[in-house]
Chain A
Amino acid sequence: GNSVTQMEGPVTLSEEAFLTINCTYTATGYPSLFWYVQYPGEGLQLLLKATKADDKGSNKGFEATYRKETTSFHLEKGSVQVSDSAVYFCAPGWDNQGGKLIFGQGTELSVKP
């Protein structure tokens, strides 16, 4: 079946530190890969996506590369800010299934000034 494993949180970093949140998946077919973010008290928002192998998604300084050979989609940011504090979710998704997503358990990030 389809599943996602994310790095366990919470992750606590100081401002301007380097961030990596690991994500590996097992999936049937050829899904697109997504990172969603949930800020405190808000709904989920798309952070970035990659639709095929070796694609790199990027947004707001975050990046992730679709690695088919290692079935991974690790999220990175070179210098985090306090405003990046949120819960991050990795998810494969299938366009041909109406955009169905399967989520990882989420990784809570807390950035201290």
Chain B
Amino acid sequence: GAVVSQHPSRVICKSGTSVKIECRSLDFQATTMFWYRQFPKKSLMLMATSNEGSKATYEQGVEKDKFLINHASLTLSTLTVTSAHPEDSSFYICSAGDPGAYNEQFFGPGTRLTVL
């Protein structure tokens, strides 16, 4: 199946700093990628839809100035957590839809963010 990678897999940062997470589709082009946040009780919350070449679409309650999303190419979307605080600590997961497979979603392995 298609492969989606995320980098870094784990990051620890100080409060107030910004962190960038990359999501890449390795063997297909994705016009649309999605960013999720996975909470300790295992649920995944959809944060935003990342659209190649245009602005991201954020879900209700997600601060777009806090979570900056850029989808500069058909294989790369980035999520930047700006001025991170301890409450932003979480597991962030991206997915990409393969247009050649009815937009079936393929998930990255996730990024564990810890803000001290």
CB distance from A5 to the nearest CB of B (A): 11
Residues of A within 8 A of B41 (CB): 105-106
Residues of A within 8 A of B97 (CB): 98-99
> A95: CB under 8 A from chain B?
yes
**26 A-B Cβ contacts within 8 A?**
A32-B102, A38-B42, A42-B109, A43-B110, A44-B44, A44-B95, A46-B105, A49-B104, A51-B102, A89-B44, A95-B102, A97-B32, A97-B49, A98-B51, A98-B103, A99-B32, A99-B97, A99-B104, A100-B34, A101-B34, A103-B44, A103-B45, A103-B46, A105-B42, A105-B43, A108-B42
Q: Are A99 and B105 in contact (CB under 8 A)?
A: yes
Q: How many residues of A contact B (CB 8 A)?
A: 25
Residues of B within 8 A of A97 (CB): 32, 49
CB distance from A55 to the nearest CB of B (A): 13
CB distance from A87 to the nearest CB of B (A): 5
- A44–B46 Cα distance when bound, in Å, is 14
Give chain B's interface residue range (CB within 8 Å of chain A): 20 to 34
For the complex, would chain B's binding face be called helix, strand, loop or mixed by DSSP majority?
Answer: strand
Residues of A within 8 A of B31 (CB): 98
CB distance from B23 to the nearest CB of A (A): 12
Which residue on A lies nearest to B36, using beta carbons? A103
CB distance from A38 to the nearest CB of B (A): 8
